[in-house]
Amino acid sequence: MSCARAVVLLSGGLDSATCLAIARSRGCECFALSVNYGQRHRAELDAAARIAQVLGAAEHRTMSIDLAGIGGSALTDRSIEVPTAPSQGIPITYVPARNTQLLALALGWAEVLEARHLFVGVNAVDYSGYPDCRPEFIHAFERLANLATKAGVEGRSLAVEAPLLHWSKAAIIRAGLELGVDYSLTVSCYRADERGRACGLCDSCRLRAEGFRSAGVADPTRYAMGADLP
Amino acid sequence: MSCARAVVLLSGGLDSATCLAIARSRGCECFALSVNYGQRHRAELDAAARIAQVLGAAEHRTMSIDLAGIGGSALTDRSIEVPTAPSQGIPITYVPARNTQLLALALGWAEVLEARHLFVGVNAVDYSGYPDCRPEFIHAFERLANLATKAGVEGRSLAVEAPLLHWSKAAIIRAGLELGVDYSLTVSCYRADERGRACGLCDSCRLRAEGFRSAGVADPTRYAMGADLP
């Protein structure tokens, strides 16, 4: 894949940091986009800014949308607790239509930048049951993107790249380490404290810890004092 | 079509007001969503609130996203003038990926409300050349919506309704008048002043004025003092 300009969604977590490193390794000029959507864990956004800088993004931008006003998720509605035990079906940490909204914002910026690639670090293997992390969702968004935009109408096609889609968490971590990602900068925990230290109990902490174990590499995650390690 | 709950995108303009009246006439419980995306014309949002109330929306909500930070359109970037003469191709008033973003927000709210219908007042006849007002865009978004959401995964399908899609502006106006829409409440102008009075010169003013002329009904548009009537 040849790549000039790309917009890369960057949450500050492990997956999106790896995704940015992959986009950079393909020679893309990367415009990293973080979105403050009223999530509990602002530490993620601070992490995103550091990661964008260290991994050589051309620009990092944080946009805001008020999903807290909509609620319906443990990540955006403070009256709903983040579960600390595995759940069945679609977890309560699913944020309604979040990836559609994030990709829509990325698409708008890509149109202005004349970027031809959107990178998103979704993963369908360890995907925690979110509907908008599935391959069919990504393909449908790519199709939409080419119908929604001036670029698409004028024949400059847009590609939605989800390089982690079919990888295990361990494979993601190994790929990232080869590309020099410093995972101590990333924050995955749904309940991270203000300094980005993890709880060790939520789904996201569990998936991350299992990933480092399977990859057979040291886990640089910083845990909150007294956290039960996953 | 039987309809229980619906989210209706409501800009405060003529088309979306008519769309809300149609959704209400079909028996929907309507949740009207306006989006403050940094547009020039805040008067539109004030108009939306009045229209939602008059047309009996169950709730009206205004969400914010900062598209002004992205720019690339005369509607969101104050360094770009709104043209007062017709243009070729996709006009500079096109806001990059706007309808994708608006529908994505509506989709999130619909998921929380368990609404099965999204109404949007896009129109492909007098559509001013915007790529995201075409039928193929609407169909692609509906397909995406059903892949993106918990509702879709669990088999409660979501429909994107664009009742004005193939109507002329005159037909929209006639339908709205039959349903009792008070068009003096609506603001269409891209350059409306703070009291919602129209410029008479922009594309949107021209399309609106032609619509009232073709429909053969009086135009209740309020023009700014000294405006050249279209």
Q: Both tokens of residue A136?
A: 């069919």
Interface of B with A in 200-229 (CB under 8 A): none
Question: Could you tell me what percent of chain B has a pLDDT over 70?
Answer: 93
Question: Could you tell me what percent of chain B has a pLDDT over 90?
Answer: 57
Residue with tokens 């309808």: B99
pLDDT band, very low/low/confident/very high, at A127 (cuts 50, 70, 90): low
d(CA B173, CA B53): 20
B125 part of a folded domain = yes
Does A2 have pLDDT greater than 70? no
Contact residues, chain B, for A112 at CB < 8 Å = 70-72, 96
Over residues A194-221, the mean pLDDT reads 91
Mean pLDDT is lowest, of A12-26, B98-112, B113-127, for B113-127
Closest by alpha carbon to B170, among B210, B124, B204? Answer: B210
B208 part of a folded domain = yes
Segment B166-221, tens digit of pLDDT? 999 999 999 999 999 999 999 988 888 888 899 998 888 998 999 999 999 999 99
Complex ipTM: 0.88
pLDDT band, very low/low/confident/very high, at B40 (cuts 50, 70, 90): low
Closest by alpha carbon to A173, among A205, A138, A222, A208? Answer: A208
Over residues A24-35, the mean pLDDT reads 96
- Interface check A111 vs B, CB under 8 A: yes
CA distances (Å), origin A111, targets A100, A159, B95 = 16, 12, 10
pLDDT band, very low/low/confident/very high, at A66 (cuts 50, 70, 90): confident
- Interface check A112 vs B, CB under 8 A: yes
Segment B124-172, tens digit of pLDDT? 876 567 888 899 999 999 999 999 988 888 888 999 999 999 999 999 9
Segment A170-196, tens digit of pLDDT? 999 999 999 999 999 999 888 888 888
B205 part of a folded domain = yes
pLDDT band, very low/low/confident/very high, at A120 (cuts 50, 70, 90): very high
- Interface check B64 vs A, CB under 8 A: yes
pLDDT for B106: 95
Closest by alpha carbon to A73, among A105, A49, A48, A99? Answer: A99
Segment B4-17, tens digit of pLDDT? 999 999 999 999 99
Q: Are B24 and B4 in contact (CB under 8 A)?
A: no
B177 part of a folded domain = yes
Q: Both tokens of residue B18?
A: 């008519």
Range of the domain at B28: 5-215
pLDDT band, very low/low/confident/very high, at A150 (cuts 50, 70, 90): confident
Q: Are A147 and A141 in contact (CB under 8 A)?
A: no
Q: Are A223 and A192 in contact (CB under 8 A)?
A: no
Interface contacts (A, B; CB < 8 Å): 139
| Phi, psi angles (nearest 5°) of residue A94 | -60, 125
Contact residues, chain B, for A61 at CB < 8 Å = 69
A222 part of a folded domain = no
pLDDT for B203: 83
Does A109 have pLDDT greater than 70? yes
Residue with tokens 């959107």: A118
When scoring A31, A98, A105 by the number of chain B Cβ atoms within 10 A, the one with the most, hence best to mutate, is A105
A186 part of a folded domain = yes
CB–CB of A112 and B70 under 8 A? yes
For chain B, give the DSSP string: ---SEEEEE--SSHHHHHHHHHHHHTT-EEEEEEEE-S-S-THHHHHHHHHHHHTT-SEEEEEEB-GGGT--STTT-TTSPPPSS--SSS-TTPPTTHHHHHHHHHHHHHHHHT--EEE----SSS-TT-GGGSHHHHHHHHHHHHHHSHHHHTT---EEE-TTTT--HHHHHHHHHHTT--GGG----TT--TT--B-S-SHHHHHHHHHHHHHTS---PPBPTTPPP-
pLDDT band, very low/low/confident/very high, at B2 (cuts 50, 70, 90): low
Give me the number of domains chain A comprises.
1
From B136, which residue of chain A is nearest by alpha-carbon distance?
Answer: A147
Q: Both tokens of residue A27?
A: 């020679």
B229 part of a folded domain = no
**Which contiguous run of DSSP H or E holds residue A6?**
strand A5-9
Q: Which residue has the higher pLDDT, A91 or A124?
A: A124
Q: Are A52 and A32 in contact (CB under 8 A)?
A: yes
pLDDT for A229: 73
pLDDT for A41: 67
CB–CB of B111 and A98 under 8 A? no
pLDDT for A94: 74
Question: Could you tell me what percent of chain A has a pLDDT over 90?
Answer: 57
Segment A34-57, tens digit of pLDDT? 998 877 667 889 999 999 999 999
pLDDT for A126: 60
Residues sharing a CB contact under 8 Å with residue A211, sequence separation 6 or more, in sequence order: A14, A126, A168, A169, A170, A172, A173
pLDDT for B127: 54
A114 part of a folded domain = yes
From B112, which residue of chain A is nearest by alpha-carbon distance?
Answer: A72
pLDDT band, very low/low/confident/very high, at B77 (cuts 50, 70, 90): confident
Interface of B with A in 34-63 (CB under 8 A): 61, 63
From A107, which residue of chain B is nearest by alpha-carbon distance?
Answer: B97
Give me the CATH number covering residue A54. Answer: 3.40.50.620
When scoring B59, B75, B101 by the number of chain A Cβ atoms within 10 A, the one with the most, hence best to mutate, is B101
